[in-house]
Structure 1
Amino acid sequence: MDNRHIEIKNNTGKKRETQPKPSVEVRENSPTQQKRNPGNLEENKSSKNRNSHPNREKNDQSNQSIKSFNNSVFRTEQLSVYYGDTLALSNVNMEIPPKQVTALIGPSGCGKSTLIRCFNRLNDLIESFHSEGKVFFHDKNLYGRKVDAVKVRRKIGMVFQKPNPFPKSIYENIAYGARINNYSGDLDELVENSLKKAALWSEVKDKLKENGLSLSGGQKQRLCIARAVALKPEVILMDEPCSSLDPVSTQKVEELIHDLKESYTVIIVTHNMQQATRVADFTAFFNAEEGESGNRFGYLVEYDNTEKIFQDPQEQATQEYVSGRFG
């Protein structure tokens, strides 16, 4: 397979009707996963302890169900992430559907941010990072030796927890990335369309020359989303995008996320479970446990339709987390 180029269809220019959720095929991947069965609680607990340790044989299947989507955007196979010798994320198998919102939830230290940073290779910037397993983007191995990480990031945008506009004008925050990537179209039109997609145009159209840092927190975050949209990605990753925002700004960003899935695949990390129920079509619950060396590592517990995760989870740990018993 030739990994020198990643071919991606640009879907951002077309308006489409909301499509039904992709079909889901579920294959139970391990008999050791602890189900919500009080009568077998001790037996299941013992079984999990024997099988969930990070030093288990590499050929063992991880403790999770695998869901297959039609035309999945991302697919991980036995993905484990290390920082130096420290395991951060263990044996994740999952697929991300196109043009849906997928939320990653779970307690701190369970590898949610580590996972989405694998999707656009931002972890490469950490010297001690290395991974095992595979990450596919439309059946292209993102970690193939000939894949250009910079080109990957142009197609997979990122919005961070803290709004980080450039110390430039609102206009230049949008135009700068396009300009350095040799954009040959009308920059004024690009800026306007990007701000409209981020639901910010009506608020800033008369002050485009003002510094982006002068905006409110919520406006800054939407400016960062507009900046990501301007590069015409296929995927937008969001790492706790509302954690530093007030409720009104949070509502605007959530409404924006709902609109963005018309044109983009959106993956969001959130500690706010109510937010996941409001914006996500699918939800993946991650948990963490302590390894032999004393460090905590994350693993995928359960992944399903959001309604299923919050109203009828199949795993005891999921039920305890979404009901507020821990985390």
Structure 2
Amino acid sequence: MISNSSHPVTTQAALTAEDVNVYYGSNLAVRNVFLEIPKNRVVAFIGPSGCGKSTILRCFNRMNDLIPGARVEGKITFKGQNLYAKGIDPVETRRYIGMVFQKPNPFPKTIYENIAFGARINGYQGNMDELVERSLRGAALWDEVKDKLKGSGLALSGGQQQRLCIARAIAVEPEVILMDEPCSALDPISTLRVEELIHELKQQYTIVIVTHNMQQASRVSDLTAFYNAEATETGNKIGYLVEYDQTQTIFHNPTEKATQEYVSGRFG
């Protein structure tokens, strides 16, 4: 049995997905996803490789639009608006729903310009020095870089680069931050710093994180969605949402047998 209803939440939803299907060309990649992401919560997507976690994540800010042949069916709602309705600008969507990728990807610019660049493009009229400092403080990076703002962002360590990317994302004042395995390329100390940062950021932002690290999901998230995949006769995998609930429930008292087997390490 597949749990196809979103978990009831007491806070207002930041994002909802209703019967979302994602295709790459003619191949169905993820099917029938129903999901509700509550405001100011951290939601983790877990599951084995190829189950559609990152694909669904990218649907929330239309990053899949950049993949030739990708097609999304169904409805994804943000602030009462279907993000896939005609006339919706995907670039504007990404202004409100930011993304941090698996591999840190600072711009080949100074630390200062990494933060200022996006804000400037979006027409920011305030004090740029204050915005840069506020964003770097928000990413717990200010004290480490305040004396080298004119240095290259590429000169920072991997963990610092990832926090710079988080600072860059929050500089344009989004409402949601999507994180696609943000710690997979980081050492344990840097991973801990990012996890601590996630706890702080949810006071102001809604965060959705894809992670292969189940311990990380249990540490940082309020709710967890478990995805799995089934093989077709042609050998393709079709991902689907198995179960979505409070993180404690998913890890300690899941409804579905497949969830129990995955979180206990029996497969994946």
Q: Could you say whether these structures have the same fold, taking a TM-score greater than 0.5 normalized by the shorter chain as the test?
A: yes
1:237 maps to 2:178: yes
Q: Which residue number in structure 1 is paired with residue 49 of structure 2?
A: 108
1:63 deviation in Å? 4.7
What corresponds to 2:248 in structure 1? Answer: 307
State the shift of 1:132 in Å: 1.5
Which residue type is aligned with residue 284 of structure 1?
A
Inter-partner Cα distance in structure 2 for 1:250 and 1:151:
30
The one-letter code matched in structure 2 to 1:139 is G
> Residue 200 of structure 2 is aligned with which of 229, 254, 259?
259
1:71, CA displacement in angstroms? 1.7
Query: Is the contact between residue 104 and residue 158 of structure 2 (CA under 8 Å) also seen in structure 1?
Result: yes
Return the letter of the residue paired with 1:190. Answer: L
Equivalent position to 2:32, from 88, 91, 95: 91
Given that residues 3 and 244 in structure 2 are in contact (C-alpha distance below 8 angstroms), is that contact kept between their aligned partners in structure 1? no
| Alpha-carbon distance change, 178 to 66 in structure 1, aligned in 2, over 3 angstroms | closer
Report the alpha carbon displacement of residue 297 of structure 1 after superposing the two structures with TM: 1.1
Say if 2:153 is the partner of 1:191. Answer: no
Secondary structure, aligned partner of 1:303: strand
**Which residue type is aligned with residue 150 of structure 1?**
V
Residue 43 of structure 1: aligned partner:
none
1:133 positional shift: 1.1
- Per-residue deviation, residues 194-226 of structure 1 (Å, max 9, x unmatched): 000000000000000000000000000000000
Secondary structure in 1 matching 2:261: helix
Deviation at 1:294, TM superposition (A): 2.0
Give the CA RMSD over aligned residues: 0.9
3-state SS of paired residue (1:227): helix
User: Residue type matched to 2:176 in 1?
Assistant: V
Deviations 1:270-300 (A, max 9, x none): 0000000100000000000012332001000
2:8 aligned with 1:68: yes
- Identity among equivalent positions (%) equals 66
Q: In 2, are the aligned partners of 1:71 and 1:138 still within 8 Å (CA)?
A: no
Cα distance in 1, alignment partners of residues 152 and 239 from structure 2: 40
Counterparts in 2 of 1:77-226, with a 5 A limit?
Answer: 77-226=18-167
Whichever residue aligns with residue 7 of structure 2, its letter is K
- Structure 1 position 251, deviation (Å): 0.2
Question: Which stretches of structure 1, 4 residues or longer, exceed 6 Å deviation after superposition?
Answer: none
| In 2, Cα distance between equivalents of 1:161 and 1:104 | 14
Aligned to 1:18: none
Q: List alignment gaps of at least 5 residues for structure 1.
A: 1-32, 34-61
Letter in structure 1 aligned against 2:204 = S
Task: Number of aligned residue pairs: give it.
Answer: 267
Larger Rg: 1
CA contact (8 A) 1:107 1:287 kept: yes
Alpha-carbon deviations, 1:132-152, whole Å to 9, x = none? Answer: 211111221000001111110
Separation (CA, whole Å) in 2 of partners of 1:320 and 1:181: 46
Cα distance in 2 for residues equivalent to 1:302 and 1:122: 24
Residues 73, 137 of structure 1: 8 Å contact kept: yes
DSSP 3-state at the match of 2:7: strand
User: Residue type of the partner of 2:89?
Assistant: D
Q: Deviations over 1:159-184 (max 9, x none)?
A: 00000000000000000111122211
Residue pair 1:103, 1:282 contacting (<8 A) in 2 also: yes
Where structure 2 has 5 or more consecutive residues not aligned to the other structure, the ranges are none
In 1, the alpha carbon distance for the partners of 2:112 and 2:263 equals 42
In the alignment, what sits opposite 1:268?
209
Q: Distance in 2 between matches of 1:131 and 1:292?
A: 23
Q: Give TM-score, length-normalised by structure 1.
A: 0.80
* Residues 174 and 227 in structure 1, CA contact (< 8 A), matched pair in contact too: yes
SS of 2:8's equivalent in the other structure is strand
